[in-house]
């Protein structure tokens, strides 16, 4: 998808199969010679033998690697990405801007016949496919101009995540060997995500389809149909339920038990209504199956009742803001209205160092986050809740700077 990135880049790049031994002698070379084109060329000599052992044709390899040079900008962006963060409401300003919504409606209209056929074939709602297209490449207008081979070779050589990127580089070479595209056309983002909807090579190999019938799975060219169908095939594989919303904005009542706002707590919309959780119109949400309550901005922000399709979008990118962005953009393209509830606009996102400090301090106080990785996932949110309960605070699991200050004071 950004991770776009089907393996979740994200820094969110987790779908690739990493072969045993991928951090062999090449990885060691990378670690000792990282940072120079000469080092990359030496790494490529070692990697060539591993590629041949993985059944990559020598001519394919040599043609793909012709002119490959160490890309310092790719390495800089890889090492700095963890510092980049926004609040969900800041992210949504861009992800669901008026222009992106307008362009999404135009894209849906322009490609309606093909999108309806894709929807019929894969049972995936066309609006969500268009929304992913919109966030990943602005409906094909920014598909990435970096050489995927150069980016992946630089990242594999760099050593920080060499096994992952070497596995992706091998898959990219197999794509070339299969004839789906040529090296000079294999363009994408700095992290190796490719085409209209930003597939990583491993995800392309597993899920890309030939929708046009030309015997190629072309996600790079001006014609977006293979990419859009491939995205639908991906979502179908991970369990998309046609007609089910990703989520519905809801009101939670005064006195709501915020410990219930947990991804692991699943109830029917009827049962949530019995607890006072209603749609914005004051009635129970329609029964689309088991649902949980999500509070991405804590008790002061908008609340959502989320269904299993939320988790399917999450396979594209694990960040809640991204999933909400895709879901809400798809709703707006379909004619839905804006999010009605407010956000805690006084808050800013925690920095990488602050997220690390949050986890470290919580763990030291006995509220184990399990990992100290600066990623605010369910384990950290649960630790935040336990701290809030123990100290008499509203247990909404929201990791704000105000909360970090309270944790500092407690420690």
And the tokens for 131? 């929304």
Cα 181 to Cα 60, 175, 221, distances in angstroms: 12, 7, 9
Q: How many domains does the chain have?
A: 1
Element of type H or E holding 353: helix 352-364
Question: Strand, helix or coil at 288?
Answer: coil
Per DSSP, what are the bridge partners of residue 282? none
Report DSSP state, residue 12: B
Q: Is a pLDDT exceeding 50 seen at residue 6?
A: no
Q: Is a pLDDT exceeding 50 seen at residue 396?
A: yes
Instruction: Residue 394: give the domain boundaries.
Output: 352-410
Average pLDDT over residues 119-126: 98
What is residue 79's predicted lDDT score, i.e. its pLDDT? 80
Q: State the pLDDT confidence band at 299, using cuts at 50, 70 and 90.
A: very high
Q: Is a pLDDT exceeding 60 seen at residue 365?
A: yes
Question: Strand, helix or coil at 131?
Answer: helix
Average pLDDT over residues 305-326: 96
Instruction: Answer yes or no: are the C-beta atoms of 279 and 248 closer than 8 Å.
Output: yes
Q: What is the chain's length?
A: 411
Least confident of 82-86, 276-280, 347-351, 381-385: 82-86
| Mean model confidence pLDDT for the chain | 91
Q: pLDDT digit string (tens) for 146-186?
A: 999 999 999 999 988 899 999 999 999 999 999 999 999 99
Q: Is a pLDDT exceeding 80 seen at residue 319?
A: yes
Q: State the pLDDT confidence band at 84, using cuts at 50, 70 and 90.
A: low
Q: State the pLDDT confidence band at 8, using cuts at 50, 70 and 90.
A: very low
- Domain-embedded: residue 72: no
Average pLDDT over residues 38-65: 97
- Domain-embedded: residue 367: yes
- Long-range CB contacts (< 8 A, 24+ apart) of 106-113? 107/133, 107/134, 107/139, 108/333, 111/224, 111/225, 111/228
Q: Is a pLDDT exceeding 90 seen at residue 34?
A: no
Average pLDDT over residues 4-33: 35
- Return all residues near 186 (Cβ < 8 A) that are at least 6 apart: 147, 148, 149, 172, 175, 176, 194, 220
What is residue 12's predicted lDDT score, i.e. its pLDDT? 31
Q: Is a pLDDT exceeding 70 seen at residue 2?
A: no
Q: Is a pLDDT exceeding 60 seen at residue 15?
A: no
What is residue 78's predicted lDDT score, i.e. its pLDDT? 86
What is residue 81's predicted lDDT score, i.e. its pLDDT? 64
Strands annotated E in 216-351:
247-251, 278-279, 292-294, 303-306
Spell 134-168 as b/e; 16+ CB within 10 A means b: bbbbbbbeebbebbbbbbbbbbbbbbeebbbbbbb
| Cα–Cα nearest to 143, from 215, 224, 231, 233 | 224
What is residue 160's predicted lDDT score, i.e. its pLDDT? 82
Q: Is a pLDDT exceeding 70 seen at residue 232?
A: yes
Alpha carbon 16 to its chain's center: 14
Average pLDDT over residues 86-111: 97
Percent of the chain with pLDDT over 90: 86
- Domain-embedded: residue 172: no
Residues 18, 21, 23: CA angle, nearest 5 degrees? 80
Per the listing, tokens 């980016």 go with 151
Element of type H or E holding 37: helix 37-53
Average pLDDT over residues 287-300: 97
């Amino acid at each position: 998808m950004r991770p776009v990135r089907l393996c979740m880049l994200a820094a969110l790049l987790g779908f690739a199969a990493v072969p045993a031994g991928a951090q062999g002698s090449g990885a060691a070379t990378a670690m000792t010679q990282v940072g120079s084109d000469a080092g990359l060329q030496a790494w490529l000599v070692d990697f060539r033998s591993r590629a041949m052992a993985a059944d990559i044709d020598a001519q394919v390899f040599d043609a793909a690697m012709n002119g490959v040079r160490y890309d310092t900008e790719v390495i800089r962006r890889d090492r700095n990405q963890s510092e980049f963060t926004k609040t969900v409401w800041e992210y949504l300003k861009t992800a669901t801007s008026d222009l992106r919504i307008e362009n999404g409606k135009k894209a849906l209209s322009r490609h309606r016949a093909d999108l309806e056929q894709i929807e019929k074939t894969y049972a995936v709602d066309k609006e969500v496919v268009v929304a992913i297209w919109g966030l990943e490449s602005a409906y094909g207008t920014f598909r990435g101009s970096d050489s995927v081979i150069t980016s992946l070779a630089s990242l594999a050589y760099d050593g920080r995540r060499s096994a992952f990127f070497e596995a992706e580089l091998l898959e990219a070479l197999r794509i070339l060997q299969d004839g789906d595209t040529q090296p000079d056309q294999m363009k994408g983002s700095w992290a190796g995500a490719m085409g209209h909807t930003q597939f990583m090579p491993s995800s392309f190999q597993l899920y890309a389809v030939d929708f046009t019938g030309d015997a190629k799975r072309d996600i790079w060219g001006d014609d977006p149909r293979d990419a859009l169908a491939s995205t639908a095939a991906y979502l179908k594989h991970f369990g998309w339920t046609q007609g089910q919303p990703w989520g519905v904005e809801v009101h939670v009542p005064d006195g709501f038990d915020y410990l219930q706002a947990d991804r692991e707590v699943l109830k029917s919309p009827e049962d949530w209504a019995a607890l006072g959780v209603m749609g914005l119109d004051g009635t129970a949400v329609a029964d689309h199956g088991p649902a949980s309550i999500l509070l991405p901005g804590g008790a002061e922000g908008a609340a959502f009742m989320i269904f299993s399709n939320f988790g399917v979008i999450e396979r594209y990118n694990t960040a809640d803001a991204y999933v909400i962005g895709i879901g809400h953009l798809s709703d707006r393209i379909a004619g839905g209205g804006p999010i009605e509830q407010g956000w805690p606009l006084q808050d800013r996102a925690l920095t990488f160092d602050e997220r690390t400090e949050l986890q470290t301090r919580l763990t030291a106080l006995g509220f184990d986050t399990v990992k100290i990785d600066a990623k605010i996932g369910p384990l950290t949110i649960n630790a935040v809740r336990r701290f809030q309960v123990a100290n008499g605070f509203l247990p909404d699991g929201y990791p704000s700077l105000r909360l970090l200050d309270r944790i500092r004071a407690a420690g």
